[in-house]
Amino acid sequence: MGQNTADPVLRIGLLGLGTVGSGVAEILQHNAQMIAERCGSRLQVVRALVRSGRRRRGAAARVATCTDPRQILEAEDIDVVVELMGGQTPARRYMQRALRAKKPVVTANKAVLALHGSELFALAQRCCVDIYFEGSVAGGIPIIRTLREALGADRTVAVRGLLNGTTQYMLGQLEAGETYADALAAAQRLGFAERDPRLDVSGRDAADKLCILGRLAFNSPLSPKLLSFSGIEALTPQHLAQAHCHGYRVRLLAQAHRRTVAGAAALDAWVHPALLGPQHPLYAVPAAHNAVAVRSLAHGDTQYQGAGAGSLPTGAAVVADLMDVARNLRAGVWGRLPFGNGRRALPPLPAHSCASAFFVSLQVQQRPGVLAHVANVFAEAGISLATVTQNVCATSLVPLTLTTHPTTFGAMQRALLQLRRAPVRRGTAQALPIAADS
């Protein structure tokens, strides 16, 4: 970058020109003048690495393309590398190469950061360059900046988020009577879903994002390999209807909160479809939006909401990172905003020790002693029941729903294993956490 020229230019190499890459090109084209005024440099895409020469529309069509990564990663005319390929390989390797070539990296890759963030940031530090990653969590919501900077002086108590736009959108559609397949196809058409949408519906995408937020908010070494997470694949319209009858909505909730267990502070973190009541801060978040509610000691409750996925919201987050890179390069600084060094970290609890109240649904045979049997299973697992509702039904199998007082995931797992036996119909017992309102 020509740091001493009157009109400095930040020369950008894009890895990937898909949904987010196109958004970056659009924002850079439409807001060029304003961006230059705000960050003191012109931001110019020099070229983009693409897999195929397929026709592109809009601003992306005007971006020069290449198929050899060396033309970006080791090119003299590239100042900063923007990684928007997604997935682990080769994205992680390319980022390492860019850092070693002393090029700052801007990425929206939650999968790589969740698993290898510490290693990449250590490398960036050794190479004296920055990694920026606002687009990696909740797309258009500036939650990374908020946790790293605005709330940086405060002690976080809890982070609760709806972090996956695809499942947010799909759950809204399912509630409106849409089929699962149609809801997923629509989420893909709208550009919310990952290239492999199993990452969205399995909960893995949200788990990756929670690991990143957990690192920033609690300096906790959360890993998607150890985190308790599940997705929306096993949810049926019946589950949603039953939750609705009890006044709840089901949403894919990612949450992490500080807890004291056996006298020691630890992080209780998980991602699961959960029941949210009307008093929950995320209950009214519209379909497809993401939201994050943060509780911290000095600020109290703060909440952030908006478009979490999609070309322009995520593209704008990436460009804002590029503006910071341009400012840093001009000032000759780097490393102002660390990822979290893992020292004095809040250790994550093992999955079986995480705790919540639960909503349990099952189908049972209609005969004397069945309720006593079910209640006994919970008693033996050490779980206290809060409510029991049995629907009036003319058939031999009746739907039964129970709510519990807070218990551990491990105890609930033990109870569910016991409930696989008669008089409970095989495969019908399912438990979803009930999100605490406060």
Question: What are the catalytic residues?
Answer: 209
Query: Judged by CB, which is closer to ligand HSE: 79, or 194?
Result: 194
Query: How many helices, marked H, and strands, marked E, lie in the chain?
Result: 14, 17
Residue closer to ligand HSE (CB basis): 129 or 183: 183
Nearest residue (CB) to ligand HSE, 201 versus 364: 201
CB-based contact 339:117 (threshold 8 Å): yes
Q: Long-range pairs for 423-429 at CB < 8 Å and ≥24 separation?
A: 423/364, 423/365, 423/367, 423/369, 423/370, 423/373, 424/362, 424/363, 424/364, 424/365, 424/374, 425/362, 425/363, 425/364, 425/365, 425/397, 428/361, 428/362, 428/363, 429/360, 429/361, 429/362
Question: Shortest distance, CB of residue 204 to ligand HSE, whole angstroms?
Answer: 10
Is 165 a binding residue for ligand HSE by CB under 6 A? The answer is yes
Determine the Cα–Cα distance for residues 346 and 268; give it in Å rounded to an integer.
10
The pattern of x and - marking residues 197 through 216 that bind ligand HSE according to CB under 6 A reads: ---x----x-----------
Choice between 143 and 275, CB closer to ligand HSE:
143
SS3 call for 319: helix
Smallest gap from Cβ 437 to ligand HSE, in A, equals 25
Cα distances (angstroms) measured from residue 358 to each of 95, 104, 431, 432: 42, 45, 6, 5
* Piece of 43-51, 188-196, 320-328, 396-404 that binds ligand HSE (CB under 6 A): 188-196
348 belongs to the binding site for ligand HSE (CB under 6 A): no
Q: How far is the CB of 303 from ligand HSE (least distance, A)?
A: 18
- The distance of closest approach from Cβ of residue 176 to ligand HSE in the complex, given in angstroms and rounded to an integer, is 18
Closest to 436 in 3D by CA, of 291, 298, 274, 218? 274
| Strand duo 131-132 + 105-107: pairing | parallel
Judge whether 155 and 297 are in contact, CB under 8 Å.
yes
- Calculate the CA dihedral of residues 403, 409, 415, 417 and round it to 10 degrees: 130
Tokens of 408: 């551990």
Q: Binding pattern to ligand HSE, positions 292-331, x when CB under 6 A?
A: ----------------xx----------------------
**Among residues 73 and 174, whose Cβ is nearest to ligand HSE?**
174
- Name the segment binding ligand HSE (CB under 6 A); options: 28-36, 43-51, 153-161, 190-198: 190-198
Residue 313: CA count within 13 A, CB half-sphere? 21
Q: Is 194 in the site for ligand HSE (CB under 6 A)?
A: yes
DSSP per residue, 142-154: -HHHIIIIITTTS
- Which positions from 119 to 138 touch ligand HSE by CB under 6 A, shown as an x/- string? --------------------
The least distance separating ligand HSE from the CB of residue 436, rounded to whole angstroms, comes to: 24
Alpha carbon separation from 23 to 107, 287, 317 (Å, rounded): 14, 21, 10
228 near ligand HSE, rule: CB under 6 A:
no
Check residue 166 for interaction with ligand HSE (CB under 6 A). Answer: yes
> What is the total residue count of the chain?
438
Least distance from C-beta 110 to ligand HSE, angstroms?
A: 6
CA 242 centroid distance within chain: 26
Q: Is 231 in the site for ligand HSE (CB under 6 A)?
A: no
Q: Is the distance from CB of 327 to CB of 37 less than 8 angstroms?
A: no
Count residues binding ligand HSE (CB under 6 A).
11
With binding defined as CB under 6 A, does residue 107 bind ligand HSE?
no
Among 131, 158, 184, 193, binds ligand HSE (CB under 6 A): 193
CB of 109 to ligand HSE, least distance (A): 10
Q: Does 139 bind ligand HSE (CB under 6 A)?
A: yes
Q: Which residues bind ligand HSE (CB under 6 A)?
A: 139, 164-166, 192-194, 200, 205, 308-309
